[in-house]
């Protein structure tokens, strides 16, 4: 019977070829990933400007109702009783104006209905009335 020394009995695994393959795979994936192009639409955004719109540009009628049920038409405070003539004035300036009703989250929903009805009675078609309930 042959006796083996301890150095001969222990087997070692050479890790160098495995590391070579891992690095080759890493380089392959890096190179192939750089050639992938994502397709998408290019959006043509208008230039941003903090300047207000020109006076002669037609404007919409923005009716805002805050959490305390206070009403503003185009940033001027008014009450529910004086709103119909103001909407009519806004429509006299621009017959194609939309009426945008913007409600705060805690405003009463009844105001939205009343303002919408006033806009309809002022001659605004239903398709040009937009409702926006805040969040």
pLDDT above 90 coverage of the chain, percent? 14
Domains of the chain: 61-133 (3.30.420.270)
Apex 65 CA angle, 61 and 70, nearest 5: 115
Query: Which of the 8 DSSP states describes residue 45?
Result: P
17-71 pLDDT, tens digit each = 889 999 999 999 888 876 666 677 677 777 787 777 676 666 788 899 998 889 9
> What pTM was computed for the model?
0.56
User: What 3-state DSSP class applies to 118?
Assistant: helix
């Amino acid at each position: 019977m042959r006796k083996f020394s301890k150095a001969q009995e222990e087997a070692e695994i050479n890790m160098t070829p495995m590391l070579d393959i891992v690095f080759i795979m890493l380089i392959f994936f890096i190179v192939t990933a750089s050639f992938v192009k994502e397709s998408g639409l290019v959006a043509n955004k208008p230039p941003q400007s903090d300047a207000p719109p020109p006076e002669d540009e037609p404007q919409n009628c923005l009716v805002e109702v805050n959490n305390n049920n206070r009403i503003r038409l185009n940033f001027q405070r008014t009450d529910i009783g004086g709103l119909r003539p103001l909407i009519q004035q806004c429509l006299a300036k621009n017959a194609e104006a939309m009426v945008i009703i913007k409600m705060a989250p805690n405003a009463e929903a009844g105001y939205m209905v009343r303002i919408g009805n006033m806009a309809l009675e002022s001659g605004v078609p239903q398709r040009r009335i937009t409702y926006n309930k805040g969040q």
